[in-house]
Amino acid sequence: MARRIVASLRAALPFLVVIGLSLLLEAAVRAGLTPRTIVGPSRIFEVLAADRRNIWFNVEPTLFTASTGLLIAAILAFLLGFLVYGLRGLEAPVLTVAAVLTSVPMIALAPALTTLLGLSMATRVAITAVICAFPMIVATVQGLGASSSGSRELFTVLAASPWQRFRLLALPSALPYLFLGAKIAAPLAVLGAMIAEWTGAEQGLGVYMINAMFSLNVGQLWASVFVACAVSMAAYGLIALAETLAVPDRSAERNGL
């Protein structure tokens, strides 16, 4: 009994900390201890409730940009991973180019791509895809090469065809890595979509945030920060959920990756 209480307390602890900090912030704001550019949680919820139509209107395109960008990046990563799986010699060049691309600051990349491709949804999706491709490329390349030497020899002894080797060994071995890459990339996709919107869009969470900033509407600004966090966490959670459904006992963390 006591053990169960301890266990549930441990599970609840992160939430208790967040609630505690929020209450502390609220108290500090009400007591006038904070600068006026900081608003309390209650004010954020007020804005969220009052401005919900406008916020949803702006969140929708961001969700679309982020998920499409993530999907394109995943497809790209998978194709590159497959290529490297077939031609091991390509591993170093592919990873190097990907690393160089990801070393370019996102905030520099976005305007550069926008001037190149013009102001459009396609441009914003492309920016997002570039930003979240790297972790997925690394994860796919590593994952497809992750099978043990014993199991590779087993497939040799079984005289398996290259396709059987890929389908029955390499791909299932790679799954935990693919999910790990996607979990890192999903919040990046939300970030990427917002950065893309900053460089030019009519609507989107990034636009809402910029507008709030330039009109010094701190309530809306913090509300947009809150929504951005929530969307990022939801994106991560969705991938994690898909992972528990697809590979119930083999998540990468559990195998110590």
Partner 1 sequence: MAGIVLTGASKSFDLDGRTVRAVDDVSLTLEDGEFGALIGPSGCGKSTILRMVADILKPTSGAITIHGAPPEKVRRDHGIGFVFQDPSLLPWRTALENVRLPLEVVGARGERARSTPRELLELVGLAGFEHAKPSQLSGGMQQRCAIARALALKPKVLLLDEPFGALDEITRHRLNLELLRVWSQTRTTALLVTHSIQEAVFMSDKIFVLAARPGRLTDVVEVKLERPRRMAQMAEPTFVEAVATVRASLFGDQAGSVDYG
In whole angstroms, the minimum distance from the beta carbon of 251 to partner 1 comes to 12
* CA separation for the pair 139, 81 (Å, rounded): 9
Question: Pick from 5, 10, 11, 249: which binds partner 1 (CB under 8 A)?
Answer: 249
Question: Pick from 71, 146, 168, 225: which binds partner 1 (CB under 8 A)?
Answer: 168
By CB under 8 A, is residue 202 in contact with partner 1?
A: no
Question: Pick from 54, 91, 95, 151: which binds partner 1 (CB under 8 A)?
Answer: 151
Question: Pick from 2, 11, 31, 157: which binds partner 1 (CB under 8 A)?
Answer: 157
Q: Are 81 and 141 in contact (CB under 8 A)?
A: yes
Binding mask 172-191 for partner 1 (x = CB under 8 A): x--x----------------
Q: Which of 52/254 has CB closer to partner 1?
A: 254
Instruction: By CB under 8 A, name the binding residues for partner 1.
Output: 148, 150-151, 153-160, 164, 168-169, 172, 175, 247, 249-250
